[in-house]
Amino acid sequence: MTHGAPEATPETDEVPPLNVAERAFWLAFMRALMVVPRALDADLLAGPRMSATEYRVLMVLSESPDRRLRMSELAAACDLSLSGMTRLVARLEADGLVVRMQSECDARGFNAVLTDAGFARLEGAYPQHLASVRRNVIDHLSDFDLDRLAAAFNAFAEGEPACPAIPESGC
């Protein structure tokens, strides 16, 4: 084994190398994974002056029952650590967009609650975000079967929920 090279295993010994088309797709996909989130984030920062992560938090809360979600569930839905979500919600709370309230079901837990000001901010940012999503992603996919493409992308994260189930009762 050479230094830094992964050790061969029975399952990797028989994996064929990527062909030209597979390699071209893989390189383009990896580039898109880096470029598209930066472009979406830059558009939100330039217009509505919020990050894509802040937008996602406000959006997830807006779609939750009573516009509230337990902090751990919000972190999972936004693919952030609980400590990262706590810091982000603290910033949103300082701006009056979110409030943290002690859970009615568990005195140890807290819920993030979208305020009316937060909902208005989300609504104001939506047109710019939609235009950015269309320009940076959707407009490049006109020749593709979007249902099949979505199914393929969902298969990449098979076993991982797209968004954790949101309890109906809030508890």
The predicted pLDDT at position 63 comes to: 97
Per-residue model confidence as pLDDT tens digits over 42-55: 999 999 999 999 99
Cα within 13 Å of Cα(105), Cβ side: 8
* DSSP category for residue 160: S
* Per-position DSSP letters for 39-67, written without gaps between them: HHHHHHHHTT---HHHHHHHHHHHTSGGG
Token code pair at residue 107? 């005195």
pLDDT in tens, 46-94: 999 999 999 999 999 999 999 999 999 999 999 999 999 999 999 999 9
Amino acid at 27: L
pLDDT surpassing 70 at residue 5: no
Strand order in the sheet with 68-70: 68-70, 110-114, 98-102
Q: Quick: pLDDT tens for 132-141.
A: 999 999 999 9
Question: Mean of the per-residue pLDDT values for the chain?
Answer: 89
Residue 88 Rama label (left phi>0; alpha psi -120 to 50; beta): alpha
